[in-house]
Amino acid sequence: MLIIMKTCTKCDQTLALNQYYGRHTSCKSCQIRESVERKRAKRISQGWVDYITIINSHKNCKTCKESLPLDRYRQHKSGTLFASCKFCLNEKDKSYVDTDRKRLKARENYWKNKDNIDARRATEKYKTEQRERAHKCYIKYKTTGIKKIWEDKNREQLSDSYVKYVLVKGTDLSARDVPESLVKLKKQQLILTRKLRNHE
């Protein structure tokens, strides 16, 4: 098979024709490099790189806010620099790796001991522990006043969620069981009751 070669006018390297775009006299690598340089020059002229501190070839890191030399930053394929320095990016990568490692370890542990874990969850002791934990969360929610803040806010606005809450309060029903027609009627009743109280 005959391979036709061609010499690049930029880098003077003799390369195969598949290393050129069409009839261009410069190779693909030189074309890409020139394109990147043109784009970079255009961005600088348009002020797109104002966030870079060019004095003494330093750049401000987005994460740690320190002015560091340009060799402390990773480069994109386009030739531009990352917004954060290498150290900050490494720390971020480590946190991702640690999180993934913990998640994978937990999943692996579950599948290794699946039968034991499922058996434990089915026991009465586990269910009692879960109920106690839920009760503690409820007590904390009730004593911190979050519920009262929610009630006061929605009582004033007469939101649908508050009206449903009033309707099912003290019953075994859920707010989902309340039809919209009943919500509208209850809302009208509450509005009338408020007007009567204000007149008194």
**96 within some domain:** no
Whether residue 33 lies inside any domain: the answer is yes
164 exposure class (CB count in 10 Å sphere: 0-12, 13-18, 19+): buried
pTM for this model (two decimals): 0.28
Q: Is residue 122 part of a domain?
A: no
Is residue 5 assigned to a domain? yes
Residue owning tokens 């989902």:
176
The pLDDT tens digits for 98-124 are 777 788 888 888 888 888 888 887 888
Three-class SS state of 81? strand
Residue-level pLDDT, tens digit, the chain, 200 residues: 566 888 888 888 888 888 888 888 888 888 988 888 888 777 766 655 444 445 457 788 888 888 888 888 888 877 778 888 888 888 888 777 777 778 888 888 888 888 888 888 788 888 888 888 888 877 777 666 666 666 666 667 777 888 888 888 878 777 777 888 888 888 888 888 888 877 75
Decide if 153 is inside a domain.
yes
* Length of the chain in terms of residues written: 200
Residue 175 structural domain: 145-200
Examine residue 195 and state whether it is found in any structural domain, yes or no: yes
Report the Cα 16 to chain-centroid distance in Å: 46
The helix/strand count (H/E) of the chain reads as 7, 4
Q: What is the pLDDT of residues 171-185, one digit of tens each?
A: 877 777 788 888 888
Task: Look at residue 83 and tell me if it is in a domain.
Answer: no
* Phi, psi angle pair for 67, to nearest 5°: -90, 115
The answer to whether residue 113 is domain-embedded is no
Element (H, E) at 2: none
Domain termination residue (choose one: 10, 27, 47): 47
Domain count, the chain: 2
